[in-house]
Structure formats: C-alpha cells, structure tokens
Amino acid sequence: MKIDFANLTKAYLEHKDAIDIAMSDVVSSSRFIMGKEVQDLEMQLQQYTGAKHAITCASGTDALILAMMALDIKPGDEIITSPFTFIASAETIAFLGAVPVFVDIDESTYNIDVNRIEEKITEKTKAIMPISLYGQVADMDAVNALAKKYDLAVIEDGAQSFGATYKGKQSCNLSTIGCTSFFPAKPLGCFGDGGAVFTNDEALSDKIKSIRVHGQTERYIHKYIGIGGRLDTLQAAILIEKLKYYDNDVARRQKVAKKYNEHLINHTTIPFVEEYNTSVWAQYSIRIKDRNGVQLKLKEKGIPTAVHYPKPLHLQECFEYLEYKQGDFPVSENVSNEIMSLPMNPYLSDQEIQYITKELKELL
C-alpha cells in the first residue's frame, strides 16, 4: 500500500469541475489583482469566523507582518511567543526588528504554557503571540487576561487552526488580531500562497488594508510604509469553492484522528485536545523515542511521516544573537526530539488507517 501524506491531488480531483470553472472565470475576466472574488471571500471569512473584518493577504507570513505593522511594532519591542512552531511565527517578529521572547510549551497540548508568560513580561513587551499548533487553539482566556492586565495586544498565529473552536468560538477571532495561512498543506489550503488577518477593530482593519497595498490610502497616496501583500484573485476564487465544503473536510479529518486514537491509545502518546477545544487536525502528531528508525521503516512500507518541528526556534542559527542555549526550554526540546506526524487528510480510508497503525505498532 502507498499512502499519501496530505493528498492534495485528491483534494483537487474531488471538486475539479467547480474549481476549474472558478479558475477559468477569473482568467477570462483577467481581474488578477483584487478582483471581486477577493472581496467576496473576505465577506465569507467574516461570516465564518464571526470577526467584523477579514483582510486577505499573500501568505500566513505576510498576515503576521501586517498584524504587527498595524500594531506599530517597532525595533526593540518585545513579543512573547513559543519556540516550538514554524519559523515564521518568530521570524516575522525579528524581521520587524522586534525581539521574540520565548516561553516554553505545555507538555500535553504543545501550545504556549500560559503559566510561564507573566514572568517574561517587561516594560518593552508589546504583544503576546500564542500559536494554535497542529489545529488546536492555546488557552486564549488566560492569554487575554494577561494582555488586559498589562495592556498588551494578542496576535493569534492561527496558521494551522482556521475552523477550530475554543469554548465554542472560532479560531482567528479570539484576540486583538488573528492570522491564518492558506498554504496548500494547511487544513484550508489554496493552490499557492495565501493568508488572512482578522480583527474586530475597524481602525486596525483599515490600517491593515492600507499596509497590504504599500501603505496607500488612495491611489499613489501613501500614508504608511507598507508591503505588496495582496491575495491573488485566482486563489480567492479557489478558496471560495473550498470554503463551501470546508466543514465537511474538517469533520472527515476529525474522524481520521478519532480512528487513529482508537488504534494507538494503548501504544503511544496520542494527541491531547482540551475538552473545550475542537481541533482541525493540521497535523496528527505522536511521540516516538526512536523516531529516525521508525520513520525509515514506515517509509519502506509506503507510509510517509514528517516532523513538525525537529529543532526549536531558540536553537536555530538565525536566532543565535538572542543568546538562548540548550536547556532553556526543556519541554520544547524534548518534544522536538520525539514528535512525529502521521499522514493526515480527509480522504484516509479505514483500511489505510488500519494499515498505518498496524505497521507502526509493530515498531513500538
């Protein structure tokens, strides 16, 4: 048997006709930049999340940059985040000259340990950036309470969690600003790069919209330093189609995760989801002691696996100047050594899940 990790081909083929029509409509209209699909998608994203404003953009990375630029994050400002994430979370902070201040993760959810945030807050702290890792939101009530106490902004890096819920509320609409990504392999992916920023604050929304187009407020009139960060009309048209059945995709991912859990519960550390959360299962990640060996043997059996993420950010060469060292964030370091993601997509059959888990259990 040969298993597909994210099965993006099937994601297209299942809805080929509708997606093809949507794409060809854009191409024949030649409204490639800011065509009406972009606005339509933004309205639908607002409806989906309940956020007053959804601003699409060129990637999840740009979403984070737009959020921080709109909040006026300046060189030397500190932003508290976790070192166990994709590089973009902390990289965008550093890109703006601000300082990522890391806080270790919770051992069970792999999200920021909210009990360790307060001790890192200083005069220079401007924001907290919790990451909703693997499709599950961090404890936002706790984060928001701290933000309120110290007058900080909260930016949710929801790149992996669009569609997830926290206490019945939608990810990306839980704080000052929410950011997501439509990178193809994310739960809601387009056919290239894409992202969105969410807020309930009209002034922030206006500023983000302006910064997205070189800081302009009207044509060739530039109020802010900005970026060229728009979402392509083509990607918007694709996302409008995919959003129609996204809830069904999420339900199928949840079913796959449940099946994995049933097979693996007595054999390894299965993912933990808080009872007040629903996950969109961007990844299904388990803990494996001899990870390299297991990955190699599974590969021989046609089962692809991945590691999200093998090296925590405080130990990355690009952040050497922050002067963190091995041992600073032991939970992140341990988890980085053991974490392994199994194939996850809405199309995995019971038979495939049976095969994957049977081969895996033989190696444990």
Interface positions with ligand PLP (CB under 6 A): 59-61, 85-86, 88-89, 131, 157, 159-160, 181, 183, 193, 195
The distance of closest approach from Cβ of residue 70 to ligand PLP in the complex, given in angstroms and rounded to an integer, is 17
Read off the amino acid at residue 328.
Answer: D
Query: CA torsion angle for 167, 43, 177, 34 (degrees, to 10)?
Result: 150
The distance of closest approach from Cβ of residue 62 to ligand PLP in the complex, given in angstroms and rounded to an integer, is 7
The distance of closest approach from Cβ of residue 91 to ligand PLP in the complex, given in angstroms and rounded to an integer, is 9
Burial environment of residue 151 by CB neighbours within 10 A (0 to 12, 13 to 18, 19 or more): exposed
The distance of closest approach from Cβ of residue 294 to ligand PLP in the complex, given in angstroms and rounded to an integer, is 23
The distance of closest approach from Cβ of residue 147 to ligand PLP in the complex, given in angstroms and rounded to an integer, is 19
The residue among 81 and 357 lying less far from ligand PLP, judged by its C-beta, is 81
Tell me the C-alpha distance between 173 and 47, whole Å.
11
| DSSP helix/strand/coil, 14 | coil
Whether 203 and 184 have beta carbons less than 8 Å apart is answered as: no
Handedness of CA 310, 197, 64, 128 (dihedral sign): negative
The distance of closest approach from Cβ of residue 182 to ligand PLP in the complex, given in angstroms and rounded to an integer, is 7
The residue among 170 and 181 lying less far from ligand PLP, judged by its C-beta, is 181
The distance of closest approach from Cβ of residue 158 to ligand PLP in the complex, given in angstroms and rounded to an integer, is 8
Indicate the residue whose CB is closest to ligand PLP: 60
Rounded to 5 degrees, what are φ and ψ at 44? Answer: -70, -35
Token pair listed for 176 = 């000052």
The residue among 183 and 281 lying less far from ligand PLP, judged by its C-beta, is 183
The residue among 18 and 87 lying less far from ligand PLP, judged by its C-beta, is 87
Name the E strands within the chain: 53-57, 78-81, 99-102, 125-129, 153-157, 165-166, 169-170, 177-181, 195-199, 216-218, 221-222, 277-278, 284-287, 339-342
DSSP letter at 12 equals H
The residue among 259 and 314 lying less far from ligand PLP, judged by its C-beta, is 314
The residue among 154 and 294 lying less far from ligand PLP, judged by its C-beta, is 154
The distance of closest approach from Cβ of residue 83 to ligand PLP in the complex, given in angstroms and rounded to an integer, is 12
Query: How does 335-348 read in b/e, with b if 16+ C-beta sit within 10 Å?
Result: bbebbbbbbbbbbb
The residue among 195 and 271 lying less far from ligand PLP, judged by its C-beta, is 195
Tell me the C-alpha distance between 71 and 18, whole Å.
39
| Beta-bridge mates of residue 157 | 131, 179
The residue among 186 and 207 lying less far from ligand PLP, judged by its C-beta, is 186
Tell me the C-alpha distance between 327 and 203, whole Å.
42
Whether 173 and 200 have beta carbons less than 8 Å apart is answered as: yes
